[in-house]
Amino acid sequence: MQKEEILKLPISYKNIRLIRLNLPQKEQFVSGIGVRNSRKALIIEWEDDNGTKGYGECSCRPDPYYSDEFIEGAIALVNQFIVPFLKQNQTFGDLLKLLDKIRGWNFTKAAVEMAALQVIEQNTGKSPFQLLQNKPLAHVPVGISLGLYTDVDRMKKVVKNALETGYKRLKFKISPKVRVDFFEEINPMLFEADTFVSFDANGSFGENDLDIFHYFANTYQSMIEQPFAPTRFDILSKVKKEHPEIYICYDEEIKSIGDLIKLHHLGMLDEVNLKVGRVGGVMKSIEIIQYCAEHNIPCWIGGMFETGIGRTLNLRMASYLPNARAHDLSPSDRYFLEDIVQPNVQMNNGLVNMESLKNCTIQPNLIDKYTIDQKTLTRIC
């Protein structure tokens, strides 16, 4: 299938429903961004003229602390700058042109695209995933993201459980305030295990925090994700020039194919954490995956603690990356007391069986249970 064929696929519009959810977590999660006790999410339901429904999840946070998007702003964007310009009938390419006209707001645009693509695939059996050359994996390797800890015994217990569960990667959240002595205590567990270990700073390090940064870079000789704020390329450039051996994974810097190509041409690109929402959706992600494949750039799929709606999409994308060590896509029961898809996204010894995802269906009763607000935008004519 060619890209032009995908762009010509029809999509009609009858209703768009904006659903705000609040999904309770099993336990508190702490990172360099802040503390989270539940997943506050925006779900977009697209209904066409035939009554076919598709769902997309806006992966932005409720606050503008990870990116400049936030849920209330996303709702306003869809309400004011997307829905009023939809036609009763259009092509998928027409929809992308409408979304591309909007600068930024990638998480929001990705959710709209995802909802429309679900409708298109149900109606035609065709999907942009058919543009990818690799045969999808039957089993996708996944890792676990571990937060910041204030209790070393709790940290040891969580690490021990993660290793025994079989995750293919343990990724620790770190910040300038991280307890290095805690890592000194768990290092025997990490060094003895046959599990890849990496770190994620969520852009929390600055010029005055490099001693702690170098501790992790030198002790583990492993990937450090997003050590500096995406606006502080000067610090990143300085550190890479002084210590070219440091291996950095990019996350928030890459919001488009242009960002990726820029970093690659500057010789600064070691690895890419690709978040489908952050780059604007499935079509944009496929473009980045193809570039990474052509230039031998390691790439894997990251998550934003999505519900099963976004999680299954991310895993589908991950299945087309056969060389990735692991993806940040832990199963639903790792985070939520109850997901909105059933059965939950499940894992066995660090692997998600992609065949099992075909049975994951959205449960309207669970969406209703965790809905805190909703609004239906209906076509007037």
Write phi, then psi, for 220 (nearest 5 degrees).
-105, -20
Say yes or no: 274 and 295 in one domain: yes
Q: Strand pairing partners for 91?
A: 10
β-strands 89-91, 248-250: how paired?
A: unpaired
Residue 159's pLDDT is: 95
Written as six digits, the tokens of 173 are: 């959240």
The C-alpha atoms of residue 169 and residue 143 are separated, in whole angstroms, by 4
Mean pLDDT in order along the chain per 10 residues (381 residues)? 93 96 85 80 96 96 90 96 94 98 97 98 96 93 91 94 93 93 93 89 89 89 90 87 88 93 90 96 97 96 93 96 92 86 90 92 93 89 56
Residue 380's pLDDT is: 67
Say yes or no: 231 and 153 in one domain: yes
Alpha carbon separation from 2 to 122, 167, 313 (Å, rounded)? 19, 36, 21
The C-alpha atoms of residue 370 and residue 312 are separated, in whole angstroms, by 19
Residue 249's pLDDT is: 92
- The whole-model pTM stands at 0.92
CATH (domain of 119): 3.30.390.10
Say yes or no: 124 and 166 in one domain: no
DSSP codes joined into one string, 30-51: E-SS-EEEEEEEEEEEEE-TT-
Say yes or no: 20 and 122 in one domain: yes
**Residue 117 burial (C-beta neighbours within 10 Å; 0-12, 13-18, 19+):** buried
Say yes or no: 245 and 288 in one domain: yes
User: Could you tell me where the DSSP H helices lie in 125-203?
Assistant: 152-165, 180-192
Least Cα distance to 132 among 39, 253, 1 occurs for: 1
Residue 58's pLDDT is: 97
Cβ neighbours for 377, distance < 8 A, ≥ 6 positions apart: 15, 16, 17, 18, 78, 79, 83
Say yes or no: 152 and 89 in one domain: no
The C-alpha atoms of residue 17 and residue 15 are separated, in whole angstroms, by 6
Say yes or no: 115 and 172 in one domain: no
Say yes or no: 354 and 373 in one domain: no
Sign of CA dihedral 127, 356, 60, 24: positive
Say yes or no: 356 and 371 in one domain: no
CATH (domain of 196): 3.20.20.120
DSSP letter assigned to residue 351:
E
Angle at 358 between CA 352 and CA 361, to 5 degrees: 110
**Residue 262 burial (C-beta neighbours within 10 Å; 0-12, 13-18, 19+):** middle
Residue 269's pLDDT is: 87
Domain encompassing residue 328 = 130-363
The alpha-carbon radius of gyration of the chain (Å, integer) is 21
Say yes or no: 243 and 341 in one domain: yes
The C-alpha atoms of residue 173 and residue 188 are separated, in whole angstroms, by 19
Say yes or no: 346 and 212 in one domain: yes
The C-alpha atoms of residue 330 and residue 143 are separated, in whole angstroms, by 6
Residue 381's pLDDT is: 56
Say yes or no: 299 and 155 in one domain: yes
Domain total in the chain? 2
